[in-house]
Structure 1
């Protein structure tokens, strides 16, 4: 007997390079019935042609809305009882939808099931991408279980949960998943699980990755300022400490000019940053050996500095801008509904 209809929504903007891998993986899912919807957000490459060649239904935004708006538009065209969002740079394992739907059916309090990406990238383009795949995998795999972050690159949720929580906030181009996770976990549980697997085509250029991480760090400050205990399961104190220590190592570097005694401060900060991520460095060493670890550690230090700098910029903006402090105001409250009350 078939289960409930699942609507798989793939938001896309100029990801033709990975889109075919994404859509073919979804067409090969073991679960049925599925309707597959690709929402094209004003692509200028041949993304639409790729989807149409595979026989996938394409919905178009009127203008580039960002991933939040594309997901919301996809939902308005969806008929399924279960919504599955899959980014167009992600390829799911054949049983991903089946496992996620089974987990939702087994627990009425479960509002969303998020996938963990493999430590190998979907498409190997650069060493930066291999760094990011390993770093992202370690951070997510070590956070497996109940979380307050939403990982929307591959996430399944009942339609009634989406209807209750409301749409993704289209004003948030970098942190819509943080906001959505906060709103959802006010009423439901949410899990990150390696039982639902996928591969991600991560950023392959360092500057592009750093810009993204800086923007995300800055934009999260207003929500964290209000919800100090919000980031359950992913952004741990060790990870935050590692980033702050890396920034401190850079900030205190001029002290070296004072002589050997002045070198103590940046050296101590660097050591603290390494110790905060020691488990991750051991993981990378086991998988890739000492030579790659040297490269990995260098890139990760730069990433840590960038994240901390983004947060510092966000704190400064929070003090200076009332508008920035209200960035999440319109979406802090969850819509009441009978379904939500029943799950409480």
Structure 2
């Protein structure tokens, strides 16, 4: 007996996405399993995002002010009618069988109600070595964790509507880590699967300083989100040993002012950082060679510095501001 696949609504949150939205929508409309509707939620863009969206047969929604991806996705959930909601970020172009591959997991894997996917190493647009660093790292750590997980990344993710009716929607108090916080609620009652067959090309960060600034800002929510996690820790993009080595390097560097001998401490910590994830280093070397690996590790260390600094600031903010971090109570029920 042939099973009937559920109807799929694609929801695309977009903010100043005119550079990538055309490629994103072209890929969505080229899916082997076509969605019943495509909803673009423009989060008060100031560029040509809305004009690009109008060139496709989509439902175009908007927000009066920019409120972040959590609010945009919630607006799309409320307006959608599909049994499965497939989220695609506006800077992603899903592979032609991405929707079909996600539906296979949902229909064939017991108790899995949420399936997310993997960035390919090929960028949507090739913008240089920083973007190559980002995509290699993003691809590797996702591939390392395929299968049943506790965290979903909603840049490319299929979720049964019933999940939102059960656990609630995205926390609009969060402009980052909103997917981690929602995943924590989902994982307590529903299965989450990271599939290597659900893929997309992604237009990632391509400039060093904006990337580090973004990482610093996002990392400020690591502590409050982790404190309020209900179960075991979910996916981690970076090895704890590497984060710890970076923190030790920062903490011991001032000791070198006492005597040059103590400079050995941060040097050893940096060496420990470089050795913290041999699998990642081997993957990068195979993909791009030894010279790029040296560049990769240097950028990776700067990213870890941003993570450590952001987490430290976020931890302090969490101690003094009750409203910083996830909302303490969320309404359950997505509505229609």
Same fold (TM over 0.5): yes
Residue 320 of structure 1 corresponds to 320
On the 8 A contact 1:183/1:334 being kept in 2, the answer is no
Matched, 1:255 2:262: no
RMSD: 2.1
**Distance in structure 1 (CA, Å) of the matches to 2:322 and 2:218:** 19
Q: Provide the residue aligned with 1:286 in structure 2.
A: 286
Residue in structure 1 matched with residue 308 of structure 2 by the alignment:
308
Q: Say which is worse superposed, 213-222 or 252-261, in terms of deviation.
A: 252-261
Residue 198 of structure 2: SS of its match in structure 1? strand
The equivalent position to 2:99 in structure 1, one of 97, 100, 125, is: 97
Change over 3 Å in CA distance of 1:224–1:288 after alignment to 2: same
Correspondence for 1:298: 298
Corresponding residue of 2:187: 185
Return the alpha-carbon distance in structure 1 between the equivalents of residues 174 and 73 of structure 2: 13
**CA distance, structure 2, for counterparts of residue 108 and residue 164 of structure 1:** 18
Deviates more, 1:158-167 or 1:247-256: 247-256
How many Å apart are 1:229 and its aligned residue?
A: 5.2
Cα shift at 1:259: 4.5
**Between 271-280 and 254-263, the greater mean CA deviation after superposition:** 254-263
2:32 aligns with 30
| Stretches of structure 1 lacking an aligned partner (at least 5 in a row) | 336-344
Q: Distance in 2 between matches of 1:235 and 1:115?
A: 14
How many residues end up aligned between the 2 structures?
332
**Contact kept in structure 2, 1:82 and 1:159, CA below 8 Å:** yes
What is the CA-CA distance between 1:75 and the residue it aligns to? 1.5
Query: What CA distance in whole angstroms lies between the structure 2 residues aligned with 1:286 and 1:257?
Result: 40
Aligned equivalent of 2:142: 140
**Greater Cα offset, 224-233 or 104-113:** 224-233
d(CA) in 1 for partners of 2:146, 2:5: 27
Cα distance in 1 for residues equivalent to 2:147 and 2:85: 21
TM-aligned CA distance change 1:77 to 1:228, over 3 Å: closer
Following superposition, the deviation at residue 108 of structure 1 comes to 4.6
The range that moved more, 178-187 or 198-207, is 198-207
**Structure 2: which 5+ residue stretches go unaligned?**
none
CA displacement at 1:7 relative to structure 2: 0.3
**1:341 matched to which residue of 2?**
none
2:47 aligns with 45
Once the two structures are superposed, residues 29-70 of structure 1 have per-residue CA deviations (whole angstroms, 9 ceiling, x without a partner) of 000353111111111111111111123221122322211111
Counting only pairs closer than 5 Å after superposition, residues 1-344 of structure 1 correspond to structure 2 as 3-227=5-229, 230-235=232-237, 239-324=239-324, 327-331=326-330
Give the 3-state SS of the residue equivalent to 2:192 in structure 1: strand
Q: Deviations over 1:57-95 (max 9, x none)?
A: 211223222111111111122111110010000000100
Q: Quote the offset at 1:199 in angstroms.
A: 1.1
Higher helix residue share: 1
TM-score normalised by L of structure 2: 0.92
Distance in 2 between the 1:272 and 1:334 partners? 45
Distance change >3 Å, CA 330–CA 81, structure 1 → 2: same
Deviation of 1:151 after TM superposition, in Å, equals 0.4
Decide whether the 8 Å contact of 1:116 with 1:193 is kept in 2: yes
Give the conservation status (yes or no) of the 8 Å contact 2:86–2:158.
yes
Q: C-alpha displacement at 1:258, in angstroms?
A: 4.4
Tell me by how many angstroms 1:164 deviates. 1.4
